[in-house]
Amino acid sequence: MLSIAAINPKFNTMILFSNRNAWLYLTFLFIGLNACSSEMPLEEPQATEVANQRLSPVPASGTVMMQAFYWDVPAGGNWWEEVSTKIPSWNHAGISSIWLPPFSKAQNGPYSMGYDPMDYFDLGEFNQMGSVETRFGSKNELLNLINTAHTYNIEVIADIVINHNSGGNLEQNIFTGTNTWTNFTPASGKFNRTMYDFHPNDQHTHDWGVFGGYPDLCHHKTYVQDWLWKTDYSVANFYKTIGVDGWRFDYVKGFEPWVVKDWIHHNGGFAVGENWDGNAETLEWWANEANASAFDFACYYAMNDAFDGNDLNKLNSDMLWKRNAYKAVTFVTNHDTDEIWNKNLAYAYILTHEGYPCIFYSDYEEWLDKNKLNNLIWIHNNLATGNTSILYTDNDEYVARRNGYGSAPGLVVYLNNADFWQERWIETNWSNTAIKDYSGHSAWMPTTQSGKWVKIQAPPKSYSIWSIK
């Protein structure tokens, strides 16, 4: 048995339970009853109704994140208003933060997804790059969205693109001997840039990475640092004044991790970096150097191999959340990559394990069963506590236990990738205690033995999640 000691009170232990009603934590003891009988027939049970309401407002730091966009959301300036209408239901489901796309004016104006930034201070109020509004809407609509999110105690995470810029004018570049698109005179009148602010320049020729041939910002320049994060007139401080609570840093392979660390030092807030690397050790190194969280690509690729490759032993692989759950943002898909087909098992995995899970907008609103996702969010926010012990794996079975924290009970999750019902004896956190499947997939309500053992089951290509009744 592999035990992973990484209790995460910020994201899904102590904070989550500080405001919960006491009834959730009571353990009902039944002395003398055996666990689920081995003679119980293995047959498809009737689904049971599972409570799916929040007991109290979820704290606004580190519970479940919603990526509130997908690639090529409808153009026309209505996206901020669309997302605003979702906030009440997302709050009711247990979402505690929303990650918004880059919201400043970009080169492609009303058609841009924001990853080609031109004017960081134009949030949809200046007539440049072919429009006043951005693809997503106006500045006032953005501010209304942020205020609505805060009304419901939901944090706003801004997508920050600071590796590269786009939309500048041509200038004769003395460092390249050619004409380059490095002369930026944004309509906001803030953060004008020239060849001296990009690579190569009079300070050095390059940094860690260039993206798409765009002009590559030089973060060693004091002028660039001051305008991006160090001063009261910086981009970071401007975003803070409109209500931004945290940061998602795009393409962090393009600049050194000290940039993110210094940004957080001057401005605070939760931060997560997109370090697109499947090596858990590399992710941990970057997160430590940047003093930030990282998207757990190691977990993502392991889930793809496990669920789509029909080998759940792959879930024994090294992942960032196993090394440091405080630093791991887990996810099933995002706007850039969508490889996992068996998403139901993947969401059951990230919403019962340690780390800070992120749900993709299209999965939640369009592609998957919203009620099942809401149920998993409820389970995550109310039951998924303590460190993790992996109890059993084979090609199509995976069983893990969250060991609870304080009075919080923990859970057992059983993932079944086979085409038929399966059952297994496992060791729980509880002796002589009635338990049930909070996913509603199994009607069994067994009682654990005095030695904490019990038999549980899981439906084909699905999961069950067990905790105290």
H or E element at residue 65: strand 65-67
- β-partners of residue 164 are 216
Q: Which amino acid appears at position 155 of this protein?
A: E
Please check if 226 is assigned to a binding site. Answer: yes
Distance CA 434, CA 323 (A): 33
Under 8 Å between Cβ of 264 and 291: yes
Distance CA 55, CA 49 (A): 17
**Whether residue 318 lies in the annotated active site:** no
What are the DSSP calls for 399-439, one per residue? EEEE--BTTB--EEEEEE-SSS-EEEEEE-S-SSBBEEETT
Determine how β-strand 117-119 pairs with β-strand 65-67.
unpaired
Please check if 311 is assigned to a binding site. Answer: no
Which of 255, 93, 265 lies closest to 273 in space, CA to CA?
255
Between CA 100 and CA 239, with CA 294 as vertex, the angle to 5 degrees is 35
Catalytic residue among 250, 262, 305, 423: 250
Between CA 340 and CA 419, with CA 442 as vertex, the angle to 5 degrees is 45
Catalytic residue among 274, 305, 365, 397: 274
Determine how β-strand 397-402 pairs with β-strand 411-416.
antiparallel
Please check if 216 is assigned to a binding site. Answer: no
Q: Is 177 left (phi over 0), alpha (psi -120 to 50) or beta?
A: left
Distance CA 321, CA 65 (A): 16
Q: Measured between alpha carbons, how far is residue 367 from residues 98, 191, 205 in Å?
A: 19, 41, 46
Instruction: List helix spans (H) across 139-296.
Output: 139-151, 222-225, 235-241, 257-267, 280-290
User: Which class for 200: exposed (0-12), middle (13-18), buried (19 or more C-beta within 10 A)?
Assistant: middle
**Whether residue 250 lies in the annotated active site:** yes
Please check if 396 is assigned to a binding site. Answer: yes
Angle in degrees, 0-180, between the axes of helices 79-93 and 370-382, rounded to the nearest 10: 50
Annotated binding site for Ca(2+): 163, 226, 232, 396
* Active centre residues (catalytic): 250, 274
